[in-house]
Amino acid sequence: MSDRTIVEFHVHTSYSPDSKTDVAELEEHALSMGTECLAITDHDSIEGAVALRDRGRIAVIVGEEVTSELGDIIGLFLTERVPPGLSPAETIARIHDQGGLVYIPHPFDRRRRSRLFRPALEEHAADIDIIEAWNGRTRFEEDNERGLRFAEEHGKPVAYGSDAHLLKELGRARMEMAPFHDAPGFLDSLRDASRLGNDKSMMARLWNKLRGDD
């Protein structure tokens, strides 16, 4: 394994009701782009992630975008599905109980009624592991910037998520990280990750803000 690995976060397959991306096609497309690891986070399902992992051609972080009672919460490094409709506290507990990490997607996207709103974010901030500071489907840059500021205020590592529901959306946001073998190692690696992606101008500005370069 090389000293860095290319990871893409927040990817959906046909196991999400709003995606038609076939697992095999996703695998081929990701490999052709040089991606080495995918965090598959289908809505309320881990079946797509497990199916892709079991094919054995690309590394997979088994995840799920859980529809909690108050908004979307992603679990990474899951071994079992977390049911939808639970409170944020119970959703977070079920993720952590199986050794997973809590990742909050698109936290300030004004167009998403499914987001976890600020009061819940503040209430559960201590138990959140990762904030999505850039989402490939968020239209307004200032909404992504608010996520970055929240992460900075609370000392949370950030991730860039493509939120790819279509093959053509794959590769919009990837990160280059040190190799990892488990959830704690992943979290350590994420703190020193660098960004890749097609929308480099926007991502560079966000990254520079995080690094304090502007």
Contact yes or no for 32/171 (Cβ under 8 A): no
| C-alpha 207, offset from chain centre | 16
Number of domains in the chain: 1
* pLDDT score for 158: 96
Higher pLDDT, 82 or 108: 82
Residue holding tokens 């500005």? Answer: 205
Would you say 109 and 135 are in contact if contact means Cβ atoms under 8 Å apart? yes
Compute the average pLDDT of residues 189-209: 66
The fraction of the chain above a pLDDT of 90, given in percent, is 81
pLDDT of residue 213 exceeding 50, the answer is no
- The runs of H, that is alpha helices, within 86-137 are 88-97, 118-123
CA nearest to 115, candidates 168, 161, 169: 161
Average model confidence (pLDDT) for the chain? 91
CATH number of the domain within which 137 lies = 3.20.20.140
pTM for this entry: 0.90
pLDDT at 208: 54
pLDDT at 210: 52
Q: What's the pLDDT tens digit per position in 136-193?
A: 888 898 888 999 999 999 999 999 999 999 999 999 999 999 999 999 999 999 999 9
3-state secondary structure at position 80: coil
Domain range for 60 is: 5-211
Q: Which residue, chain included where needed, has tokens 């997607």?
A: 105
Residue 198 has pLDDT above 80, yes or no: no
